[in-house]
């Protein structure tokens, strides 16, 4: 008896996402939290939907075409404020993303995040448990006032303090074949830094129009799409010259791999300038390719990792080039990425979308000898 009820409980909570589906729209927060709203508005959290994110849309469309699914299970993390989230997650129902449904366009809304009470751990992906009281928000605990619009939960929510609030969606995403598509190594301890301190650093400006705090936590969510310059300090590039070769060291001082999503590919470009003539040396590629039967495949079909050269958490990667540097030589190093691996850009029909096809520079450095 006991095992049965446990299994049932497990199934229900994996899919039900706690059945709370009414959230104040993010626009409501703009009046009093204007700066936070502006940052959020441009972030991937506000734009995580099929209608606003062309990369997400392309992968979803491909999945629909190939599997004939009529359930937008992605909603669990991409549109958690949807009023029909239950249907999206319940096997056998029909629930597709709907451009005309305002709750679908809310994506990962202000009120959604600020009502995450706790997080349940599950094998496939974790589940956020949402507080039952609407218009009562958890926060950083920095408020000195009450808000005329909403209550502030004063009881401790450890998750907001230690950065765990993110791991309901970011911890892992295991597909039906049991392959973990994306992992942030949540069990990796880091001294004095966590998801929030790195991705939501304190920036200038008050956090509400009714008070005058000097700083607020950045809500643009620095990442591979936007504001990556804010994260550049966590990755060091240095160069070591030897007699007949040199080594570029990339020191990733973050708690997870340099890039996480399997669509990404990072590239290190190295060139040497001598007497005004520039020589491009071989590029180094960092990628994690997933697939089936040894061939790359789309995420829902993949059952294994077929290649992984991504720079891991806390890894210092040495990239060696057989090139003899001379006095006066200048070495230019550029570390950056494609959000969508150029090898699949066309298969996804994304070749004309700048966001998917362009090379994004993360860090540039020059060394003169």
User: How far apart are CB 273 and ligand HEC at their closest, in Å?
Assistant: 27
User: How far apart are CB 317 and ligand HEC at their closest, in Å?
Assistant: 14
User: How far apart are CB 6 and ligand HEC at their closest, in Å?
Assistant: 22
Rounded Cα distance, 322 and 24, in Å: 59
Token pair recorded at residue 189 = 């301890």
The answer to the question of residue 258 lying near ligand HEC (CB under 6 A) is yes
The answer to the question of residue 369 lying near ligand HEC (CB under 6 A) is no
Which range touches ligand HEC (CB under 6 A), out of 85-93, 144-152, 237-245, 268-276? 144-152
Of 92, 260, 242, the closest CA to residue 166 belongs to 260
Torsion of CA 356, 341, 263, 26, to 10 degrees: -10
Q: How many residues of this chain interact with ligand HEC, rule: CB under 6 A?
A: 92
Residue of the chain from 104, 170, 288, 317 that contacts ligand HEC (CB under 6 A): 170
User: How far apart are CB 285 and ligand HEC at their closest, in Å?
Assistant: 15
Binding mask 201-220 for ligand HEC (x = CB under 6 A): ------xx-xx----xx-x-
Token pair recorded at residue 277 = 């003539």
Considering only residues 312 to 331 of the shown chain, the ones binding ligand HEC according to CB under 6 A are: none
287 close to 208: Cβ distance less than 8 angstroms? no
The answer to the question of residue 200 lying near ligand HEC (CB under 6 A) is yes
Residue of the chain from 90, 118, 234, 321 that contacts ligand HEC (CB under 6 A): 234
223 close to 259: Cβ distance less than 8 angstroms? no
Which range touches ligand HEC (CB under 6 A), out of 82-90, 160-168, 275-283, 320-328? 160-168
Residue of the chain from 85, 88, 179, 259 that contacts ligand HEC (CB under 6 A): 259
Nearer to ligand HEC, 55 or 333 (CB): 55
User: How far apart are CB 9 and ligand HEC at their closest, in Å?
Assistant: 20
User: How far apart are CB 368 and ligand HEC at their closest, in Å?
Assistant: 26
Binding mask 279-318 for ligand HEC (x = CB under 6 A): ----------------------------------------
Maximum alpha-carbon separation in the chain = 80
Nearer to ligand HEC, 234 or 330 (CB): 234
Token pair recorded at residue 118 = 């706790």
Considering only residues 24 to 83 of the shown chain, the ones binding ligand HEC according to CB under 6 A are: 24, 26, 28-29, 31-33, 36-37, 40, 44-45, 48, 53, 55-56, 59-60, 63, 73-74, 76-78, 80
User: How far apart are CB 140 and ligand HEC at their closest, in Å?
Assistant: 3
Which residue is nearest to ligand HEC, using beta carbons? 139
Rounded Cα distance, 172 and 170, in Å: 6
């Amino acid at each position: 008896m006991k095992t049965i009820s446990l299994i049932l409980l497990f199934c229900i909570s994996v899919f039900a996402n706690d059945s709370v589906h009414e959230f104040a729209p993010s626009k409501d927060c703009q009046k009093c939290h204007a700066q936070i709203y502006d940052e959020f508005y441009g972030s991937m959290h506000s734009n995580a939907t099929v209608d606003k994110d062309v990369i997400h849309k392309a992968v979803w469309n491909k999945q629909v075409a190939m599997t004939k699914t009529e359930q937008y299970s992605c909603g669990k993390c991409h549109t958690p404020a949807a009023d029909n989230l239950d249907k999206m997650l319940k096997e056998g129902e029909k629930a597709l993303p709907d451009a005309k449904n305002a709750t679908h366009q809310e994506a990962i809304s202000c009120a959604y995040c600020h009502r995450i009470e706790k997080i349940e751990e599950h094998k496939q992906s974790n589940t956020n448990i949402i507080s039952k009281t609407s218009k009562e928000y958890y926060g950083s605990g920095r408020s000195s006032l009450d808000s005329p619009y909403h209550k502030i939960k004063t009881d401790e929510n450890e998750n907001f303090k230690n950065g765990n609030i993110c791991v309901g969606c970011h911890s892992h995403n295991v597909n039906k074949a049991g392959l973990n598509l994306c992992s942030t190594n949540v069990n990796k301890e880091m001294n004095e830094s966590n998801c929030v301190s790195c991705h939501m650093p304190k920036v200038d400006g008050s956090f509400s129009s009714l008070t005058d705090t000097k700083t607020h936590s950045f809500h643009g969510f620095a990442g591979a799409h936007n504001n990556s310059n804010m994260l550049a300090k966590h990755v060091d590039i240095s160069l070591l010259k030897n007699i007949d070769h040199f080594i570029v060291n990339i020191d990733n001082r973050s708690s997870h791999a340099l890039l996480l999503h399997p669509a990404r590919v990072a590239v290190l470009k190295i060139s040497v300038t001598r007497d005004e003539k520039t020589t491009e040396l071989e590029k180094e590629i960092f990628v994690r390719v997933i697939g089936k039967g040894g061939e790359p495949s789309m995420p829902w079909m993949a059952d294994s990792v077929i290649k992984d050269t991504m720079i891991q958490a806390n890894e210092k990667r040495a990239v060696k080039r057989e090139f003899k540097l001379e006095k006066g030589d200048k070495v230019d190093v550029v570390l950056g990425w494609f959000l969508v691996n150029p090898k699949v850009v066309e298969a996804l029909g994304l070749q004309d979308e700048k966001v998917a096809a362009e090379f994004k520079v993360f860090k540039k450095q020059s060394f003169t000898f």
